[in-house]
Amino acid sequence: MAKSLTEKILEKHIIEGNKEEGKEIGIKIDQTLTQDATGTMVYLQFESMDIPRIKTELSVSYVDHNTQQSDFKNMDDHIFLQSAAAKFGLHFSKPGNGICHQVHLERFGIPGKTLLGSDSHTPTGGGLGMIAIGAGGLDVACAMAGAPFYLNYPKVIGVKLSGKLKPMCSAKDVILYILSLETVKGGVGKIYEYFGDGVKTLTVPQRATITNMGAELGATTSIFPSDEITKEFLKLQKREDVWQELKADEGANYYKVIDIDLSKIEPMAACPHMPDNVKKISELEGIKINQVAIGSCTNSSINDLGAASEILENQTVAENVALGISPGSKQVLMNSMEAGIISKLVDAGGRILESACGPCIGMGFAPNSNAVTLRTFNRNFFGRSGTKSAGVYLVSPETAAASALKGEITDPRKIKLDYSKDYSSFIKINDNLIIKPLSEKESESLETVKGPNIKPCPKAKVIEKEISAKVILKTEDNITTDHIMPAGSKILPFRSNIPEISKFTYSQIDENFYDKAIEAKQSVIIGGENYGQGSSREHAALAPMYLGVRAVIAKSFARIHHANLVNFGILPLTFKNSDDYDKIEENDILELTNIIESLKNSSTIIIKNKTKGTTFEAIHGLENRAVDVMLAGGKLNYTKQYSL
């Protein structure tokens, strides 16, 4: 039978379970990546497993998120990460070397391999033909220890591309268009597989823009075939030897097929505050802007900066616009300097920021009050830019540059009609910020180095038969992990210190959340649809766990956050009847009954609302392995109990 590419790669990696849509499988992970903001917990967890060395083919620890270093904390984290990489046999990518996903694409990704990353944009690797999945840090630690990664066998959506993008229309506009069709929850439990004649018109970085932002669909991942274009990209990276051709069989069966004619794609923007709030630029033209930021793991390849530089060449950005550029990697930065791109951008008034996540995660370059900011990033969640009153529009580099010139949202086709030049062959490689792993013998006697802000990862409580807990928060639909555990320069330095970071839990939407949780001792959160979408940060589960949250009852969950809740012993439940959501209020006392028995033998749990005197049912829907994790009191306890 004709197979999809996804099926072919998964088939080679399945070690537990069978190909049955929606059912749990365990797959072998070939490569892992971590970044510093999630990585410190990953290596603390790995260390606590007492495994001397990683068991993957390759694992890389990147530093790209917390690079502002306003005091000792960030750099203490970097040093800890470097010492852990040396001790456990990883590559270490030093700060300044670039954003994990861009660097991994350039230097490490291999078509046909599986990659698990403690960052939700790990699917960027799908641009190279990898099955690249974002996960919580503990799942990545377990994969490094040689354990399978568990996921539900996904539905495979085919995206058939035909035609060719028109000048000034870009890969970013393609994924924004798909978001407008599929929404931020349309991809849950799905893999988007691209095929068709249009694929060969897209470069690897363009494909990676699409797979990167596929994360915003809630998808497990997205993947492109590995073809001659992939080979050319790897050849330029002097890694041609890892190339192999990979594609779906003719006539492969997809759950559904989305047809896209690239020549019909127009410049688009995701309007505040959701990546699927997409409109055509033509509908937004004229909106005055204050800031433009070009960069992030979505759009910071050399051609992205090159396109912006051509639009801005010999011009000056509008008086009221601040332009910031963060190149995706040291390679992009160096080659953009040699190609004259950086001088054009600086000449036009751009500020060159570090090769790091920077403004994308609220680490500097925060916009002014009530600002309109255009960003080539992938997320525009409320408050993420660092300024609560700002509105972020997500756009292509072409639209960003054209709008920076005009001082208002502008269709780039009105500024320039040409194709932008292809800078991709402009490439000089210098890996001197990547520290290679030591031999087993050399690393044997090493110890990790922990500064005073690095505290052990707290353990979850073992689940009891009954739990009585207070509802301390009731949320709307599409709550993101940025709502649950915000990022930004004030909070990110506490990623290695759960007691401290827990004080910021839900601070964006309820300043009293921490006090309420402490007072209640045991609590429950009520959520709407797609609860926990966005980032993979397990801190959004770890901190609530630390504060005594025992269950989240929601209409539906995002994949990674659901797994993180289980990993840290918080019971994720969905309403059997979604009308019951309306019948619960904050401060109600809920009693979850007969939990252990229900987890083992039934799919539902009976919940009594003691305040209202009502009873309702919630579904746990956990597979046997997840039930065992819950019963053990979270994945750390579980892995110890049933050693890998």
Quick check: helix, strand or coil at residue 401? helix
SS (H, E, C) 21-49: CCCEEEECCCEEEECHHHHHHHHHHHHHC
Binding mask 109-148 for ligand SF4 (x = CB under 6 A): ----------x-x---------------------------
Q: How far apart are the first and last CA of the chain?
A: 35
Residue 278 makes contact with ligand MIC by CB under 6 A? no
Helices (H), 242-390: 281-284, 302-312, 330-338, 341-347
Starting at the edge strand that comes first in sequence, how are the strands of the sheet with 434-435 ordered? 131-134, 114-117, 31-34, 58-62, 91-93, 434-435
- Using CB atoms within 10 Å of the CB of residue 476, give its burial: 0 to 12 exposed, 13 to 18 middle, 19+ buried: exposed
Distances (CA, A) of 32 to 104, 375, 388, 481: 10, 28, 34, 22
Residue 538 makes contact with ligand SF4 by CB under 6 A? no
- The C-alpha atoms of residue 206 and residue 307 are separated, in whole angstroms, by 13
SS (H, E, C) 421-460: CCCCCCCCCCCCCEECCCCHHHHCCCCCCCCCCCCCCCCC
DSSP string, 34-87: E-HHHHHHHHHHHHHTT-SS--SSEEEEE--SS---SSHHHHHHHHHHHHHHHH
Nearer to ligand SF4, 7 or 119 (CB): 119
Asked whether 100 and 93 are in contact (CB, 8 A), the reply is yes
Residue 629 makes contact with ligand SF4 by CB under 6 A? no
Asked whether 290 and 371 are in contact (CB, 8 A), the reply is yes
- How large is the C-alpha radius of gyration of the chain? 23
Site for ligand MIC in 351-370 (CB under 6 A): 361
One of 144, 229, 361, 460 touching ligand SF4 (CB under 6 A): 361
Nearer to ligand SF4, 204 or 599 (CB): 204
HSE toward the beta carbon, residue 150, CA cutoff 13 A: 20
Nearer to ligand SF4, 119 or 529 (CB): 119
Q: Which stretch binds ligand SF4 (CB under 6 A): 239-247, 354-362, 539-547, 598-606?
A: 354-362
Site for ligand MIC in 63-82 (CB under 6 A): 65
- With CB under 5 to 8 Å by kind, the binding choice for 559 among ligand MIC, ligand SF4, none is none
Q: Shortest distance, CB of residue 275 to ligand SF4, whole angstroms?
A: 11
Nearer to ligand MIC, 309 or 530 (CB): 530
- With CB under 5 to 8 Å by kind, the binding choice for 99 among ligand SF4, ligand MIC, none is ligand SF4
Residue 119 makes contact with ligand MIC by CB under 6 A? yes
Residue 310 makes contact with ligand MIC by CB under 6 A? no
Helices (H), 318-432: 330-338, 341-347, 397-406
- The C-alpha atoms of residue 351 and residue 603 are separated, in whole angstroms, by 55
Q: Which stretch binds ligand SF4 (CB under 6 A): 103-111, 185-193, 357-365, 620-628?
A: 357-365
Distances (CA, A) of 65 to 7, 38, 87, 97: 33, 9, 22, 12
| Listed residue (461, 629, 489) closest to 547, CA to CA | 461
Residue 537 makes contact with ligand MIC by CB under 6 A? yes
Q: Shortest distance, CB of residue 537 to ligand MIC, whole angstroms?
A: 3
Residue 539 makes contact with ligand SF4 by CB under 6 A? no
- With CB under 5 to 8 Å by kind, the binding choice for 536 among ligand SF4, ligand MIC, none is ligand MIC
Q: Which stretch binds ligand MIC (CB under 6 A): 114-122, 456-464, 499-507, 571-579?
A: 114-122
| Listed residue (327, 125, 118, 335) closest to 242, CA to CA | 125
One of 40, 82, 120, 331 touching ligand MIC (CB under 6 A): 120
Phi, psi of 221 (to 5 degrees): -170, 180
Residue 246 makes contact with ligand MIC by CB under 6 A? no
Q: Which stretch binds ligand MIC (CB under 6 A): 88-96, 320-328, 343-351, 528-536?
A: 528-536
One of 29, 307, 325, 357 touching ligand SF4 (CB under 6 A): 357
One of 103, 165, 274, 297 touching ligand SF4 (CB under 6 A): 297
- The site that binds ligand MIC (CB under 6 A) totals a number of residues, namely 14
Residue 475 makes contact with ligand SF4 by CB under 6 A? no
- The C-alpha atoms of residue 440 and residue 314 are separated, in whole angstroms, by 54
| Residue that the structure tokens 């500064």 belong to | 451
Residue 405 makes contact with ligand MIC by CB under 6 A? no
- The C-alpha atoms of residue 532 and residue 560 are separated, in whole angstroms, by 8
Strand partners, 295: 326
Within 10 A of 255 (CB to CB), how many other CB atoms are there? 14
Site for ligand SF4 in 57-86 (CB under 6 A): 65
For the packed helices 204-213 and 302-312, what is the interaxial angle rounded to 10 degrees?
100
Q: Shortest distance, CB of residue 377 to ligand SF4, whole angstroms?
A: 6
| Listed residue (543, 548, 494) closest to 516, CA to CA | 548
Residue 121 makes contact with ligand MIC by CB under 6 A? yes
Q: Which stretch binds ligand SF4 (CB under 6 A): 1-9, 149-157, 356-364, 589-597?
A: 356-364
Residue 360 makes contact with ligand SF4 by CB under 6 A? yes
Binding mask 169-188 for ligand MIC (x = CB under 6 A): --------------------
Site for ligand MIC in 485-504 (CB under 6 A): 487
Q: Shortest distance, CB of residue 482 to ligand MIC, whole angstroms?
A: 7
Site for ligand MIC in 37-66 (CB under 6 A): 37-38, 65
Nearer to ligand MIC, 226 or 299 (CB): 299
Nearer to ligand SF4, 17 or 488 (CB): 488
One of 54, 63, 99, 246 touching ligand SF4 (CB under 6 A): 99
Q: Shortest distance, CB of residue 491 to ligand MIC, whole angstroms?
A: 10
Q: Shortest distance, CB of residue 133 to ligand MIC, whole angstroms?
A: 12
If you ran DSSP here, which 8-state letter would residue 226 be given? B
DSSP string, 334-346: HHHHHTTHHHHHH
- The site that binds ligand SF4 (CB under 6 A) totals a number of residues, namely 11
Which stretches of the chain bind ligand SF4, using CB under 6 A? Answer: 65, 99, 119, 121, 296-297, 357, 360-361, 377-378
* Footprint of ligand MIC (CB under 6 A): 37-38, 65, 119-121, 134, 361, 379, 487, 534-537
